[in-house]
Amino acid sequence: MDPKIAKLKEMIETSENTVFFGGAGVSTESGIPDFRSTSGLYNQQYDHPPETIISHSFFISNAAEFYRFYKAKMVCLEAKPNAAHLKLAELESEGKLKAVVTQNIDNLHQMAGSRNVFELHGSVFRNFCMRCGKAHTAEYIMEHEGIPKCGCGGTIKPDVVLYEEPLDQDVIKGAVQAIRDADVLIVGGTSLVVYPAAGLIEYYRGNKLILINKTVLPQESRAALVIHGKIGEVMSQI
């Protein structure tokens, strides 16, 4: 076994409280593109930059264009959990992993069996009418041409945190507590540039920070262990 993988395994096995903090890179091996990889959405061409399209003001002023992008690029109902999601769920069921804090909106951690998941940016699987509050499924959103409307005539909005919108206070509170209590914090598949989410790792007080990413991150000097590779491939080896 690669010495770094062996070290990762040992750190998790000897930990009382491991927490995982992840981002879009955790789901690329499930076929969902991330934002900042070379094949990510930020390197594809649209009429507006993705940050603009998935912002609150753009949703309010141009819901049709928002939904065109959102349905084509951000919702992938066929995606299945990969080896990283499955290993994290297994570690939780063994009592080794206490929480998953994710920036992803794809529900793949829950599909894999993880229970204590803090979804910082919401989920494409929850959608509410802005007029009457009625809940709608992701399938309902995808089946409707153009802007999905509720039976009452109201526009439906995904329960996803758009740019310019605040994070849910209860979710932040839970995530901060989990990170603060962790003795091992594994940070994987995130570029750590989207705030305030990325700032949550500042609450970690331990000295066993592990970074797993395909590319180099500026935060590496703070980590006890850095593994460059695909997170599904890495996690499947422990």
Which residue ranges make up the site for ligand NAD (CB under 6 A)? 23-25, 27-29, 32, 34-37, 40, 103-106, 121, 189-191, 193-194, 213-215, 230-231
Least CB distance to ligand NAD at residue 202 (A) = 15
Q: Are 99 and 118 in contact (CB under 8 A)?
A: yes
By the 10 Å C-beta count (0-12 exposed, 13-18 middle, 19+ buried), 146 is classed as: exposed
Cβ distance to ligand NAD smaller for residue 150 or 162: 162
Nearer to ligand NAD, 33 or 154 (CB): 33
Question: Burial of 84 by CB count in 10 Å (0-12 exposed, 13-18 middle, 19+ buried)?
Answer: buried
Query: Distance between CA atoms of 30 and 228, rounded to whole angstroms?
Result: 18
Identify whether 136 is a catalytic site residue.
Answer: no
**Do residues 173 and 181 touch, judged by C-beta distance below 8 A?**
no
Residue 180 burial (CB count, 10 A): 14
Shortest CB 16 distance to ligand NAD, Å: 26
Least distance to ligand NAD from the beta carbon of 32, Å?
4
Identify the active-site residue in 85, 121, 136, 228: 121
Asked if 55 and 43 count as a contact pair (C-beta separation under 8 A), the reply is no
Phi, psi for residue 72 in degrees, rounded to 5: -75, -35
- Closest CB 24 distance from ligand NAD, rounded Å: 3
Cα–Cα distance, 82 to 204 (Å, whole number): 27
Of 109 and 208, the one with the shorter C-beta distance to ligand NAD is 109
Q: What is the dihedral of CA 54, 55, 57, 61, to 10 degrees?
A: -10
For ligand NAD, the closer of residues 29 and 92 by Cβ is 29
Nearer to ligand NAD, 16 or 164 (CB): 164
CB of 108 to ligand NAD, least distance (A): 7
Residues with catalytic function = 121
